[in-house]
């Protein structure tokens, strides 16, 4: 069963990755799983949630902006980004937001 990420008391940061896949997805699933496992070991990572249909949306949560910058520069993640830009995605957008308040059950 999927769960909603348990994050820190705000403030913290969210990275919203919205994407539309191309028709060229060779090795995509394997690399996506590898990145999902790798991100969990990154300093400052708090969790993520993902959904996909025609548009994919992944929201990852981070302690601070420095942690987000470090993940963006991580060697294996950089290689996956290059492949994503050149092959796997026809469109994508990344948004970085400061979470100032949260509530729920």
CATH topology of domain 12-99: Alpha-Beta Plaits (3.30.70)
Residue 1: predicted pLDDT = 53
Which tokens go with 77?
């993640």
Q: Identify the residue whose tokens are 């290689």.
A: 79
Residue 82: predicted pLDDT = 96
Residues 24-76: tens digit of each pLDDT: 999 999 999 999 999 999 999 999 999 999 999 999 999 999 999 999 999 99
Spatial distance between the Cα atoms of 60 and 68, rounded to a whole number of angstroms: 9
pTM above 0.85, yes or no: yes
20 contacts: CB under 8 Å, gap ≥ 6: 54, 55, 56, 89, 90, 91, 92
Domain residue ranges in the chain? 12-99
């Amino acid at each position: 069963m999927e769960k909603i990420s348990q994050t820190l008391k705000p403030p913290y940061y969210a990275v919203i990755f919205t994407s539309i896949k191309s028709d060229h997805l060779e090795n995509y699933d394997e690399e996506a799983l590898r990145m999902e496992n790798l991100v969990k070991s990154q300093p400052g990572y708090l969790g993520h949630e993902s959904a996909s249909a025609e548009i994919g949306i992944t929201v990852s949560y981070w302690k601070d902006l420095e942690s987000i910058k470090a993940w963006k520069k991580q060697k294996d993640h950089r290689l996956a980004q290059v492949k994503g830009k050149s092959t796997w995605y026809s469109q994508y957008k990344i948004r970085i937001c400061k979470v100032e308040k949260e509530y729920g059950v």
